[in-house]
Copies of this chain bind each other. A is one copy, B any other.
Amino acid sequence: MKKKEKTCPEETTCSVDYAFKRIGGKYKGRILWYLHEHSILRYGELSRTMPDITTKMLTQTLRELEADNLIQRKVYHEVPPKVEYTLTEVGQELIPFIQYLKDWGDKQIEKEQVKTI
């Protein structure tokens, strides 16, 4: 219908935008983080780790991360089925920065709690 190409004209710094699109989803950060903490997780484990995400969103988010080559999906064709998720190398590259973000978040949360008291 309409052009969507003008999100960022030509040269400028849309890599910021680019990156945020890839990890900015509602659950992406957490999924990446949990995969980092556990190295390898099955679908059900992820689901239990994040009880607030529905199967639909979890699947959808995992597929997006996979499409962006941040995680790897390994299917075992057996009964019952088994699927394992791991970070790709590209995904690993994001960990230090998520760590930074997490530390920042921790700090802010502490601050807020101090104020609340």
Contacts and interface: CB of A to CB of B under 8 A. Distances in A.
A97 B97 CA distance: 6
Interface in A55-110: 90, 93-94, 96-98, 100-106, 108-109
A29 B23 CA distance: 12
B17 A29 contact: yes
Copies in the complex: 2
Interface residues of A, number: 39
B8 A101 contact: no
A93 B18 CA distance: 21
B6 A102 contact: no
Interface string A8-38: 1100011111111011101011100110010
